[in-house]
Amino acid sequence: MIKLDSDAIGLIKDFESKTGAIVKDCIINGNEITFIVKEGDMGLAIGKKGAVVNKIKKDLDKEIHVYEHSEDPSKFIINVLFPVKVERVEIIGKEAKVYIDRLQRKRAIGKGGKKINTAKELALRHFGIENIVVE
């Protein structure tokens, strides 16, 4: 069960009303907000040429990331690491090993580990996966 605070709930309501997409989760991390939308709702959330999400970014004056949910934990992790090209994901117990081309490792980890830490938090919240290792 995912617990959301009142700020996240307010952002979800606002995002859903502006996009028509159904939000399954929201993480607020400083100046960044990450939304997980229902599988199939990515187009609604982004809008034509990014118009919808860019308007929300401007309105909130925050960096917005939107990823599509999946019931398959491997596909979910791949979605959250997008646009990094993931070769494959192996889930062993409560750990996921993500195989990525060496040239894209930095991008998968993100500045100061932000991207991979968000992926880890989301994988834990949605699937109980406690760690993601980039190989």
Maximum Cα interatomic distance, the chain, rounded to a whole number of Å: 41
Whether 11 and 45 map to the same domain: the answer is yes
For the stretch 82-105, pLDDT in tens is: 999 999 999 999 999 999 999 999
pLDDT at 6: 94
In degrees, rounded to 5, the angle at the alpha carbon of residue 20 between the alpha carbons of residues 18 and 22 is 115
Mean pLDDT of the chain: 95
Quote the pLDDT of residue 3.
86
The residue segments making up the domain with residue 105 are 73-134
Q: How many other CB atoms are there within 10 angstroms of residue 54's CB atom? A: 13
pTM of the model: 0.93
125 contacts 2 by C-beta, under 8 angstroms: yes
Whether residues 56 and 78 share a domain: the answer is no
pLDDT of the residue at 56? 95
The number of distinct structural domains making up the chain is 2
